[in-house]
Structure 1
Amino acid sequence: MHPQLQPLHLPDADVYFAPDFIPSPESDVYFERLMRKVNWQQESIKMFGRELPMPRLTAWYGDKSYTYSGLQNKPQPWLPVLLELRQKVEQATGHKYNSVLLNLYRTGQDSMGWHADDEPELGPQPSIASLSLGGERRFAFKHRTRKDLKSVPLILSDGSLLLMQGPTQHHWLHQVPKTPKTVQPRINLTFRDVIA
């Protein structure tokens, strides 16, 4: 594992974080390439019997289809910029990834609620490598069952890499909450290995 990836000491988890994995201005170049090249979509999800637009834009690239939040994601073919970033992430984490989910948070009102990346297609102990480019956003972990543990905040800075593996998704939820602050747009790439 890359020496930049330092462990976050969470019980029932195996989590590592590198705040400066891709330094600026290299991160700025990747951000601009992704903004131009990625086929961003505004998906809708069913909540409380209504179709509601997701509070962010998304895109799914890779080798396998993937279902989450009731959405069946058919993969788009890898872009050269995504292959470059996948290679960097695989070298750093020691894991292989066959797919990537991209999220574009345009403003502080774009968000991701509490969830775990625990879909059956990812296997019982998935490795999720989350790369952030652009504006920094607050992120948090919350244990599913232990009420004695407070939520754990983390700032996902430009060029940072967060690796969640082992039992993490089984025991912890995570989120990117809304913020009233003015924030710069952020692109998040979550590399994963779909096995189904």
Structure 2
Amino acid sequence: MVKDLLFEQNEPLKIISELGDVDYFPGFFSPPSSQSIFNRLIEDITWHQEPIWMFGKKIMQPRLTALYGDPAIPYSYSGITMETVAWDKLLLDIKDKVEHVCNTEFTHVLLNYYRHGQDSMGWHRDNEKSLGNNPVIASLSFGQERVFQFRKYSDKSEKKSITLGNGSLLLMQGATQKYWEHQVPKRAGIQAGRINLTFRKIFPPK
């Protein structure tokens, strides 16, 4: 049962404390539970590969995606408006545990499936107007560990890297999305997949 999946909560590791607030919770879910969740997400989620525009060209995103949440609230980013699928029980159970730790209510979860090391996500900030000011983004990782990088948006001078492990939680809040951007770079030799769940609160258009 998903209700038994949460590890005893350990103190998080502080990743960013200047011009933002980022905490890392390794082992948020146990290894057996994380593997079970990964397998269920592979089988149960309706995955899509969306086209995006880059440098004037239309290309397919180097990963698979899905969006679950409140279907009455749309979500758009990078020129994409994703179709929202209603919550299923597994995602709701995970959301409940994440909300308890983050003390935040989330309306959606954006899922990314990195099938191998050549799947990636480029530098960006989660700063769409629909997320409001200083959004709280809770990012869960399942499957293959991958490097996740931050750098200061203004001058690109300071870069921080962290390896996100299976069953871990990365919590980004405060002014993080204003002053820092992040990416998941390509990595040669990685054949196994990683699924990332980013919980967020999306405000309806006015």
* TM-score calculated relative to the size of structure 2: 0.90
- Which of residues 147, 157, 165 in structure 1 aligns to 2:173? 165
Could you say which residue in structure 1 is the equivalent of 2:50? Answer: 43
Could you say which residue in structure 2 is the equivalent of 1:83? Answer: 92
Could you say which residue in structure 2 is the equivalent of 1:100? Answer: 109
- Which of residues 144, 155, 159 in structure 2 aligns to 1:151? 159
Describe the SS at the equivalent of 1:184: coil
Moved more, 101-110 or 5-14: 5-14
- State the shift of 1:46 in Å: 1.6
Could you say which residue in structure 1 is the equivalent of 2:150? Answer: 141
Could you say which residue in structure 2 is the equivalent of 1:68? Answer: 77
Could you say which residue in structure 2 is the equivalent of 1:56? Answer: 63
- State the shift of 1:183 in Å: 4.0
Describe the SS at the equivalent of 2:104: coil
Taking only aligned residues, the RMSD between alpha carbons, in angstroms, comes to 1.3
Provide, for residues 100-154 of structure 1, a one-character-per-residue CA deviation record: whole Å limited to 9, x for no partner: 000000010000000000000000110000000000000100001255x431000
- State the shift of 1:71 in Å: 0.5
Q: Extract unaligned runs of 5+ from structure 1.
A: none
The number of residues matched between the two structures is 194
* TM-score calculated relative to the size of structure 1: 0.95
Q: Extract unaligned runs of 5+ from structure 2.
A: 1-8
Does the CA-based 8 Å contact 1:101-1:190 persist in structure 2? yes
Provide, for residues 9-52 of structure 1, a one-character-per-residue CA deviation record: whole Å limited to 9, x for no partner: 44101111101111110101100111110000011112233220
Runs of 4+ more than 6 Å apart? none
Q: Could you tell me how far apart the structure 1 residues matched to 2:56 and 2:112 are?
A: 24
Q: Could you tell me how far apart the structure 2 residues matched to 1:40 and 1:101 are?
A: 11
Is 1:123 matched up with 2:132? yes
Is 1:189 matched up with 2:197? yes
Is 1:110 matched up with 2:119? yes
- State the shift of 1:182 in Å: 2.0
> Percent identity over the alignment?
45
Q: Could you tell me how far apart the structure 2 residues matched to 1:183 and 1:136 are?
A: 11
